[in-house]
Chains A and B, each alone.
Chain A
């Protein structure tokens, strides 16, 4: 009887152990990925197709740019501009994360001791737009000269929002990881690695300033030593870089190859360059005969390779994978099934 009982116990124990291994093997090999998007327009009013898209991709977070902070030369203060107009309140199960873009010149011109005041203003402004949130993100391409001010601002923000159980995250550029000993690590809870804008957009010789893997790979160092938990933002936007008389004039947002298929106006000179053969309007910009456009897009294959590379470098079991950025024109070029594949790579 005892023997039988022991046998039973042994059998039960083995089953439990096997079950444990089964469960752990399932969970430990898969990362928890939270799909997210950036929304960077001033009018936050999602179309039905955008809402459907988010739902199909099981998007859990939306990083919504609430406002920019730019230096006002007249008032001599950094002030909010381009405040978002929220008109999409019915987003069930999607967390809105207020995202604030601060221009570097705002920090450069404002004294160090006023960073707490700036932080206070930022928080008041955010809470006047939205009362509840779990995270706030700050986007700023800070430099060595503004680092001290920026970090002081971040320390203040973190201290203040911690009281309300809100996390503080910041955007991180690739070079800030490679040279983190020199550039410093922002004093925040999380970093969002912006895996785009990797090359000099102004330079005519640049192949693809949004994402050129050969350029990006040059910055693939120090991920293992970087002390901040990283999330990832991938680009799904496109633009045309307009050159006139050899110099870059402007960017034409959301430009795609099909926008330049009329050979009365456009002549494709190579894989990514188009010459304007007759002056014309394009996406609201007037182009002159002789202008050159470099079309920059991010093909799905590049996104896949980028994702494989990033997965091998970033160890984060609870990674937020965000796509930049959400708008009807952009998502038309990335059927949700394709982005699902990208999300799967990170799992």
Chain B
């Protein structure tokens, strides 16, 4: 029973560890080889819901995360608003779909048929409108003015459609003038003031599109006093044409003023009004401010200027606040600015991508400290004066900006005070405060990280829902910890937080291996340490680390230390590793050729054989050449070019064959350490030279000489000055310092049997 309980606890631990493992190490995302869009990599902990998403200007100012809902098409917004207004004028009795079909889909002929149907009960409705309730209404109620207007408006449409493409038709100004006359006539004949307004809009638009700018103004002066309709969307559409005409005739300030009104009040024309709003000088701006009839209007001018992508928003916010402290745009702009400042300051010391952010995005921006200070001062002023709408938001912002400025104690004080004073009714604000406090807490960890800290972080990951609700917390914590571990010399921990074990295999680092081995051997590991060294549910990465450590010893020539390390790996693990026989001779390099030898060795076996051959070579100088030749083969075959490369390198990329690189270190996505390829020929060369010196047998000497020539060729490949590219598939022309053994082989050993064999197999040699 006790055993079963222990087993359950154990399995539970495994489950927890696995879960924890998956939580903390999901961050090594392979970016593959293909192109990917380079983006700024940082963190944000703002909850988009802290501001009113439905605020009129939210889409304009909150261009972050999923809050920003860019209008798919301005045309659709315009249509929707227009349809909504038609619907209102018909007491919201009909479906928008039906109105859309009449206003936008029906042709001139459809409406003409509809008009006929209203005069003649026997006449049929056009097919398109047969089941359309709105069309039925127009027919049944004999809305002839509306139908006449629709026919006219549809006939105007082709004159005002913006042409794009290679053969955009030129505007028929004469025809447009005729349409204006027709429209004016219909305007006078029409009783409905709403329909009159629509006629006025059509003729004014026609005049604008035919570039008769003064006529636009004259038409407005002539027609608009005769329209007594309720306030309408069309008022702003007409205002847009007036502003456009004024701009064209040089009345820039008046035009800008009208555009600011349109921007403030008309969603469907907001974007175009913003684009057309243009002020050229201080004098124009001053006149524009004077034109405004209220502080709200003046505040809107600064809001428009704040909306420019590169504006110094805080300068504009100060003016908006001065005129209209309760302006809802202040909050939107504040959030927009905090998002920018987060990029500049949040994790600026430990962000894993800080170099890249600086290089590609120039973030943090220059003089951002000064800007942060200005922003914080302004927010503090707003908090003190208490004139803004959502004071809690400004208080959180004050604390958060203080935190971004590096004053953790000050920020903590503000947050604590706020927590005590803030009620729980505003859940979003309470949550935002908690998130800000969590970010602050993580930023406050310092090195050395204690076991208590690590356990605490483990608890955050396990229990804090904000950690999971804010997608940047995992990276934020990881990057912070990595920074601290590097500072305290715990390189292994730091590496594992960002990388998989496979990444370490590509370029093993002894200090990282030692650090991680130390953790593996620790009796009381913290939650975090458990995760870092866990291989799967049942074992740690200790054996993998020992394997890497042994390989490092081996590659550094410490073969006895390597053997001792390999022996520490349990037999069952060692047996799962592939076995090799690197002592054989290969005229042609073939890294993935199947091994036909019956005698195969694991790494310990290989080292034992190396030591035996070394002893034999030294002990029998007369006959030792053969031993040295075999040693040469072993060291050759265990390099990048041999079939036993895996003995000394757990990761080899065929793609690196053609690339010359300093230290043979190649860039990889998996880790900044890169991938080391074992292309060093020095050990093999040493033994082949001994074999050549000592060989009594000309055949053996020929073999050693040939292999030395191959060593030269391989070293030529990685010479930084080499222009030869193996992928060119051409026979390399070896410079003098790399061809001595080839020449010697040709000159001294051409009589040997091995020479013929080599000529047959080696294409290069045949050419030389």
Contact = CB atoms under 8 A, between A and B. Distances in A.
A121 interface: yes
Interface in A78-113: 79-80
Contact of B315 (A77, A283, A284, A289): A289
A288 B167 CA distance: 43
Interface in B299-325: 305, 308, 310-312, 315
A246 B315 contact: no
Contacts of A79: 164-166
A290 B367 contact: yes
Given A244-B312, A286-B311, 19 more contacts: A79-B165, A124-B167, A245-B366, A245-B371, A246-B362, A246-B365, A246-B367, A247-B366, A249-B310, A279-B312, A281-B279, A281-B284, A281-B285, A283-B280, A284-B278, A284-B279, A284-B280, A289-B315, A290-B370
A26 interface: no
Contacts of A72: 164
Contacts, number: 55
Contacts of B366: 245-247
Contacts of B310: 244, 249-250
B315 A281 contact: no
Interface string B347-389: 0000000000000001001111011000000000000000000
B747 interface: no
Interface in A237-266: 244-247, 249-250
A75 interface: yes
A289 B284 CA distance: 19
A43 to B, nearest CB: 13
Nearest to B167: A124
B426 interface: no
Contacts of A246: 362, 365-367
Interface of B: 164-167, 278-282, 284-285, 305, 308, 310-312, 315, 362, 365-368, 370-371
B261 to A, nearest CB: 20
Interface of A: 72, 75, 77, 79-80, 121, 124-125, 244-247, 249-250, 279-281, 283-284, 286, 288-290
Contacts of A288: 311-312, 315
A121 B167 CA distance: 9
B166 A281 contact: no
Contacts of B282: 280-281
A75 B305 contact: no
24 contacts: A72-B164, A75-B164, A75-B165, A77-B165, A79-B166, A125-B166, A244-B312, A245-B362, A245-B365, A245-B366, A245-B371, A246-B366, A247-B365, A249-B310, A250-B310, A279-B315, A280-B282, A281-B282, A283-B280, A284-B280, A284-B281, A286-B308, A290-B367, A290-B370
Contacts of B371: 245
Nearest to A118: B166
Contacts of A245: 362, 365-368, 371
A290 to B, nearest CB: 6
- For the complex of A and B, 4 pairs with smallest distance between CB atoms: A246-B366, A245-B365, A288-B312, A284-B280
B309 to A, nearest CB: 9
Contacts of A281: 279-282, 284-285
A72 B284 CA distance: 35
A116 to B, nearest CB: 14
B341 to A, nearest CB: 11
Contacts of B311: 286, 288
B106 to A, nearest CB: 25
B117 to A, nearest CB: 38
A284 B371 CA distance: 24
B305 A286 contact: yes
Contacts of B365: 245-247
A279 B368 CA distance: 18
A246 B366 CA distance: 5
A1 to B, nearest CB: 79
A310 B371 CA distance: 47
Nearest to B279: A281
Contacts of A279: 312, 315
Contacts of A125: 166
A279 B374 CA distance: 15
A121 B368 contact: no
Contacts of B280: 281, 283-284
Nearest to B314: A288
Contacts of B285: 281
A284 B252 CA distance: 12
Nearest to A121: B166
Given A279-B315, A286-B305, A247 B362 contact: yes
Nearest to A72: B164
A79 B281 CA distance: 34
Contacts of B281: 281, 284
Contacts of A247: 362, 365-366
A80 B362 contact: no
Given A246-B362, A281-B282, A80 B166 contact: yes
A75 B166 CA distance: 12
A80 B167 CA distance: 10
Nearest to A69: B166
A246 B282 CA distance: 25
Contact of B166 (A124, A244, A249): A124
A279 B316 CA distance: 11
**Interface hub of A245, A246, A249, A250 (most chain B Cβ within 10 A):** A245
A75 B165 CA distance: 9
Contacts of A283: 280
B711 to A, nearest CB: 35
Contacts of A75: 164-165
B357 to A, nearest CB: 13
Nearest to B164: A79
B75 to A, nearest CB: 11
Nearest to A250: B310
Nearest to A291: B312
B143 to A, nearest CB: 36
